[in-house]
Structure 1
Amino acid sequence: MKLTNKDAARLNPCLKEQEQSYQCLNKNNFDHSKCENYFDNYNICKKFWGKVYSDRRSKGLTPYMPDVEDREKIKEEYIKNVQFTS
């Protein structure tokens, strides 16, 4: 079964950040030191959506990973209401 872009975006809320990091690596001949900002951004994204997933799961909200259409609204709500710690 091959994933479409829509499926990939649904399953991976950080698809854009992931693709940007891959593009940076390709552009810079896989020199990781030139792409650290992209890796950091991707990791921040994964941490954020991991917290959303955990919070929704613990509250019994389904789906645990919000639908693509709802993510921007949820991101705004979390930014306003939730403290993030390392």
Structure 2
Amino acid sequence: MPKLVNKDAERLNPCLKEQQMSYQCLDKNAFDQEKCQKYFDNYNTCKKFWGKIYSDRRARGIQPYLPNIEDRAKIKEDYMNSVKNQT
């Protein structure tokens, strides 16, 4: 599978790195999905997180619904800090 590295692919898919890592694991392990479960779990967690961000921004009228690439690290950091403060 070709590696997507252009900015449009990254802009449209905030989980591109996780997706590529799961593909690489499958390639490396002769498509044995059991050996790559942690990569699938990580990708699914990523998709759920950014799906919630997308929905929240859309509901609040914030555009773009999917944050710009340069804003994503800060959004993840803020989320992680809020989770830590809840415990």
SS of the equivalent of 1:9 reads helix
The TM-score, its normalising length taken from structure 1, stands at 0.88
1:25 aligns with 2:18: no
Name the aligned partner's letter for residue 70 of structure 1: D
The equivalent residue for 1:80 is 81
Aligned residues: 81
The TM-score, its normalising length taken from structure 2, stands at 0.87
Q: CA RMSD in A?
A: 1.7
Runs of 4+ in structure 1 deviating by more than 6 angstroms, as ranges, are none
Identity of aligned residues (%): 70
Per-residue CA distance 1:8-55 (angstroms, 9 max, x = gap):
000000000000000000000000000000000000000000000001
| Distance in 1 (alpha carbons) for counterparts of 2:69 and 2:58 | 17
Gaps of 5+ in 1: none
1:13 aligns with 2:25: no
1:66 aligns with 2:67: yes
Per-residue CA distance 1:34-83 (angstroms, 9 max, x = gap):
0000000000000000000001001110000000000000111122236x
The equivalent residue for 1:48 is 49
Matched ranges for 1:29-40 at <5 A: 29-40=30-41
